[in-house]
Amino acid sequence: MADSRNTIKKTSKRLKGVRNENFVAEFMTELLSAAQMRAIEQAAIESGEVTGLELMERAGQGVVEAIFAEWPELAVSPAAGGEGGVAPRPAGPDSPQDICEQKKLRAVVLCGPGNNGGDGFVVARLLKERGWEVEVFLYGDAGKLPPDAKANYERWLEMGEVTEYDGEFWMDPSIYREDSVLVDALFGTGLTRPVENFNAFGWVTQLTEWRLSPENRGAAYPAPRVVSVDMPSGVCADSGRRLYSADPPFDLEEISADLTVTFHSKKLGHVLAVGPYYSGKVVVQDIGLCEDHEWRKANWKQIAKQFDAPFVGLLAKGYGGHKYSHGHALILSGRPGRTGAARMAARGALRIGAGLVTLAVPPAAQAEVAAQVTAIMLRRVGDATALTKVLEDARFNAIGLGPALGLDAGAAALVAAALEAGRASVLDADALTLLAQDAALFSKLHENCVLTPHAGEFRRLFPDIAAKLETAPVQGPAYSKVDAVREAAKRAGCVVLFKGPDTVIAAPDGRCSINSAQYERAAPWLATAGSGDVLTGFIAGLLARGFAPQSAAETAAWLHVECALEFGPGLMAEDLSEQLPKVFRRLLSQP
């Protein structure tokens, strides 16, 4: 977790504080689709700055370097005198060969029929040059390999054999020895259909299952480390989803990596859906592709970003301001006995820095709420007319509504009144269900709104879009959560934040970012009742502070995870807002 705390300081491929219209790009890393990666690669090759063969060499080299960095005990230098071919085997107690034998270093490289396989042949050669014992399997027809992969296949043949990876095959795990590495170079960004088990790939799954099964931990046969090149084979680079056969009887091949080494930028599939589960850990290796290509400038709205950290300048409160300069958020409360959700949201809005926060409470709930809040103010709001009246005060510049609001006609009228007031608004929970039930209400959404559905609410609001996301994908690239949220945002005409460990936030014009609570930012303790209500409050508070909807949603979602990480195990929703002071202090003291 300490690493995640330093993410702000890391600078690789960060777009710092780039302002576009009302959007602040903050600290973000690009997440490319397979087609975008191919376009960048093609542009670089066509410009003459690099050849495909050079990129493949750098990719293979990047994989080897990442293996050595991850497991320094495996790092050995190239054998002395090894020049692009078979490395000589120098004699003597300290020669690389002897070190390898002593350490029993061994790699099994599985190469596929495309350029991912080509990277595999480079890895095989580089490891062999370092004295490793390397076994190479090829799935597919060597005669049909694309040119660069073919060239590396032929280079490998000068130093080792290639076994056809086809037909009945059973690999006894006992052949794996200590310090073995299984390199998965079967499929990368070119996965077009499910990887099926035709009794050919089965042993990879067997191996993975064997490796992951608790009873085999510490078993007689040590587990090899599994390294995937670019993507864990079988996972779609665009969606992070596994592709499924239209024909159910097939078992799916499954590669679960310890380390995935990708090139230039992470792909969407590394952070969406089950991608993180299969990727293990993702390392991005620079292969020398141009950073600021014209193509990127022309396509920036289409490139999804990972939100890594907020622009702290925006979070700080400037000197000389007063409470109204930080906005006044109005949070709508539900009826008596159901006020907790709104109270938690209100507390979140205040802690995140709104100048003032008022709870709009039904008269019957006033005593209940008054007994439990102090800095948060109260207004009696019995119905939609009363709400409209309150909102005549222009100082209420942001509204949060939905948590435990109720689903009756009165609640629907409150949602309508809030939307008609045209304020920056975050709509969650019951407000989303009401929007899903009433097309006229839905049509009142405007560009200053943020919708924050979880999967169930998303399905209710956008059933056709959800169906596409939930149908088992039979071909790649598969429809992704990014595709779904972009489509939803366009339809709603406002920002949509679709919750989850891979929270996706999109604007109607296609700008999209992902707040990933995975890998070193995994925050499973956020799956607790009421944490979504706090997120509503965080967004409302930032909207009150003047953040644009997309930026408010991104920053709130990031801080939400940061608070969960700050608290750690045992988290309850109430704890989240109370972490903000610590989180802010740490962020704002960054140099």
Ligand X SMILES: NC(=O)C1=CN([C@@H]2O[C@H](COP(=O)(O)OP(=O)(O)OC[C@H]3O[C@@H](n4cnc5c(N)ncnc54)[C@H](OP(=O)(O)O)[C@@H]3O)[C@@H](O)[C@H]2O)[C@@H](O)CC1
Ligand Y SMILES: Nc1ncnc2c1ncn2[C@@H]1O[C@H](COP(=O)(O)OP(=O)(O)O)[C@@H](O)[C@H]1O
Scanning 22-30, 306-314, 345-353, 529-537 for contacts with ligand Y by CB under 6 A, the matching segment is 529-537
Count of residues engaged in binding ligand Y, rule: CB under 6 A: 18
Q: Are 191 and 35 in contact (CB under 8 A)?
A: no
Which residue type does 395 have? R
Q: Which is nearer to ligand X, 276 or 476 (CB)?
A: 476
Q: Which is nearer to ligand Y, 44 or 268 (CB)?
A: 268
CA distances from 102 to 67, 73, 115, 177 (A): 19, 12, 33, 12
Q: Please tell me whether residue 233 binds K ion under the rule CB under 5 A.
A: yes
Considering only residues 550 to 569 of the shown chain, the ones binding ligand Y according to CB under 6 A are: 560
**What is the binding site for ligand X (CB under 6 A)?**
37-38, 41, 55-56, 59, 112-119, 146, 187-195, 229-230, 263, 287
Q: Which is nearer to ligand X, 114 or 348 (CB)?
A: 114
Residues 29, 33, 180, 228: which binds K ion (CB under 5 A)?
Answer: 228
Query: Which residues does the annotation place in the binding site for K(+)?
Result: 116, 184, 233
Residues in the chain: 591
> Is residue 88 reached through a cis peptide bond, with omega within 30 degrees of 0 on the bond before it?
no
Scanning 50-58, 82-90, 176-184, 519-527 for contacts with ligand Y by CB under 6 A, the matching segment is 519-527
Q: Which tokens is 374 given? A: 């102090």
Nearest distance from residue 58's CB to ligand X, in Å? Answer: 7
Q: Please tell me whether residue 526 binds ligand Y under the rule CB under 6 A.
A: yes
CA distances from 352 to 274, 317, 427, 429, 476 (A): 32, 11, 18, 21, 41
Q: What angle do CA 336, 339, 344 make, to 5 degrees?
A: 170
Count of residues engaged in binding K ion, rule: CB under 5 A: 5
Q: Please tell me whether residue 524 binds ligand Y under the rule CB under 6 A.
A: yes
Q: Which is nearer to ligand X, 473 or 541 (CB)?
A: 473
Taking residues 134 to 173 in sequence order and writing x for each that binds K ion by CB under 5 A, - otherwise, the string is ----------------------------------------
- Cβ neighbors of 569 (< 8 A, separation 6 or more) are 525
Residue nearest to K ion (CB): 233
Q: Please tell me whether residue 533 binds ligand Y under the rule CB under 6 A.
A: yes
* Residue 275 CA to its chain's centroid (Å): 9
> At 558, is the secondary structure helix, strand, or coil?
helix
Give the number of other CB atoms < 10 A from CB of residue 558: 24
Q: Which is nearer to ligand Y, 119 or 562 (CB)?
A: 562
Q: Which is nearer to ligand X, 290 or 587 (CB)?
A: 290
In angstroms, rounded to a whole number, what is the distance separating the alpha carbons of residues 589 and 587?
5
Binding at 523: pick from ligand X, K ion, ligand Y, none (beta carbon under 5-8 Å per type): ligand Y
β-bridge partners, 242: 235
